[in-house]
Amino acid sequence: MIIKKALAAAFTAALLAAPAAAQEVNFGDDSGEYPNDNECDDRRFFGPGMVANLDWESVGKDASDCKAAYDAGRVQLWSMTDARAATQCGSIQWGDDSSDYSDDGACDDPRFEGMGAAEILLTDDSGRDASDCRQLCEFGLLSLRDY
């Protein structure tokens, strides 16, 4: 748990440090659980080339899939700065609080990313953690993944 939180903090700090366009992408290696399956499992990216469910343990561990998707324009590096600028919290359809993980202080909705996002994001929780996500968005702690 401590390692996951440290990874999440390091990831968020890196996202805040520089815009995605100015960064040279380090894709990592293929040591993850699902390399070479034609889906990018690395949470640092977003776009149609992504796997549906995301976690912190796959960051930097699906290099071949993510590089291929990046080169093909099917994913791009997520930027907190760009996402924050594009996210209008008042315009988002939040949904409800029907997730098993709602009201736990973390946003479990996979439409969002940032310091307030849960460690594991499942498609089943899309639009089902409204109160947590709305509050964290208003505090500037998360933004839309696809902006």
| Number of C-beta neighbours around residue 79 at 10 A | 22
Mean pLDDT of 31-59: 96
Q: Is the pLDDT of residue 13 over 80?
A: no
Residue 145 and residue 46 in contact, taking contact as beta carbons nearer than 8 Å: yes
Mean pLDDT of 39-55: 96
Distance CA 111, CA 108 (A): 9
Which tens digit of pLDDT belongs to each residue from 52-78? 999 999 999 999 999 999 999 999 999
Distance CA 92, CA 59 (A): 27
Q: Which amino acid is at 26?
A: N
pLDDT at 83: 95
Residues in the chain: 147
pLDDT at 23: 60
Which tens digit of pLDDT belongs to each residue from 122-132? 999 999 999 99
pLDDT at 49: 97
Chain-centre distance of CA 136, in angstroms? 14
- State how far the alpha carbon of 63 is from the alpha carbons of 36, 52, 141, in Å: 9, 17, 27
Which tens digit of pLDDT belongs to each residue from 18-36? 444 446 899 999 999 999 9
Q: Is the pLDDT of residue 135 over 50?
A: yes
Of 2 and 72, the structure prediction assigns the larger pLDDT to 72
What token pair was written down for 75? 């994913």
The domain ranges of the chain are: 1-22+43-147
